[in-house]
Amino acid sequence: MGNSRTLSRRSFLIRGAAVGGTALLGGCDQLSQSPSFREFLERAEGLIQRAQRLVLSQRSLAREFTEADISKHFKANGSTGVDDPQYQRAAANGFADWKLTIDGLVDRPTELTLAELRAMPSRTQITRHDCVEGWSAIGKWKGAQMAPLLQSVGLKPEARYLVFHCADKLSAFSNYYESIDLTDAFHPQTILAYEMNGAPLPVPHGAPARLRVERQIGYKQAKYVQRIEVVASYKMIGDGRGGFWEDRGYEWYAGI
């Protein structure tokens, strides 16, 4: 019984993804061939419903701007560098030895070099960043789309959230971290950005790679990402509220 319903939901999801851009459509064609992703779609009822809602409407994309709108000055906020000597050595070497870890509830835990990340399907977008402290800036971001990245490692059925572990400590004790759900993870504008305004991502803005999850507020845009951990729940991480600022009272869902 559920089969035809599931099938039509799946094709809905795949067709609907075209709204977000042709790159994702190509990715989804491949995704639909992959048994683990099919299984994942079939099990993740809630995800599919939310994904449909997202992909059915252009309104679900964060607004994009033109080159002329790019801010002359884009404030760097929070950490503007990383104290860790290992990070500093990597930075001095143009991040040639840097690696991004993707692990947790995945079929194939993976380490990617910056060159490998740059070789993944990418998206470029000019968007407005809004910080809760009351400033905004428009920037152009290029990065690896999260959906094909996740497809390449394969999600286990229990996967529900991505946790972004960052290299910087904003307090003496805790590294910065953030989390998003799979709805945001598979959104076409969700990228791991390695370029800002046409140049390699500068250190103050999170080099070599930072999250852009465009329908969310500033503190969700994790900089200095070194590990993406796929989890069923973020309760065991940090103080259990899903992010550095969430642990200090901010809302987990900061969507706009």
Ligand X SMILES: Nc1nc2c(c(=O)[nH]1)N[C@H]1C(S)=C(S)[C@@H](COP(=O)(O)O)O[C@H]1N2
Cα dihedral 109, 220, 161, 47, rounded to 10, equals: -120
**Residue 79: which of Mo ion, ligand X, none does it interact with, CB under 5 to 8 A by kind?**
ligand X
Of 2 and 134, CB closest to ligand X: 134
Residues shown for the chain: 256
Nearest-approach distance from CB 241 to Mo ion, in angstroms:
17
Q: Is 131 in the site for ligand X (CB under 6 A)?
A: yes
Q: Is 222 in the site for ligand X (CB under 6 A)?
A: yes
Interface pick for ligand X out of 38, 50, 75, 118 (rule CB under 6 A): 75
- List all residues 6 or more positions away from 96 whose beta carbon is below 8 Å from its beta carbon: 90, 113, 114
Sign of CA dihedral 116, 214, 220, 76: positive
**Residue 223: which of ligand X, Mo ion, none does it interact with, CB under 5 to 8 A by kind?**
ligand X
- CA-based end-to-end distance of the chain: 37
**Residue 168: which of Mo ion, ligand X, none does it interact with, CB under 5 to 8 A by kind?**
ligand X
b/e map 142-169, b = 16+ CB within 10 Å = bbbbbbbbbbbbbbeeebbbbbbbbbbe
Task: Answer whether 184's CB lies under 8 Å from 253's CB.
Answer: no
Nearest-approach distance from CB 202 to Mo ion, in angstroms:
17
Interface pick for ligand X out of 14, 16, 27, 79 (rule CB under 6 A): 79
The binding track of 147-186 with respect to ligand X, each residue x by CB under 6 A or -, is: -------------------x-x-x-----x----------
Long-range contacts of 200-206 (CB under 8 A, 24+ apart): 202/76, 203/80, 203/81, 203/82, 203/91, 204/76, 204/80, 204/81, 205/74, 205/76
229 bridge partner residues: 103, 163
Pick out residues in 10-69 that bind ligand X (CB under 6 A): none
Q: Is 141 in the site for ligand X (CB under 6 A)?
A: no
Q: Is 139 in the site for Mo ion (CB under 5 A)?
A: no
Q: Which stretch binds Mo ion (CB under 5 A): 123-131, 151-159, 167-175, 227-235?
A: 123-131
Q: Is 131 in the site for Mo ion (CB under 5 A)?
A: yes
Nearest-approach distance from CB 132 to Mo ion, in angstroms:
5
Instruction: Name the site residues for ligand X (rule: CB under 6 A).
Output: 75-79, 131, 166, 168, 170, 176, 205, 218-219, 221-224
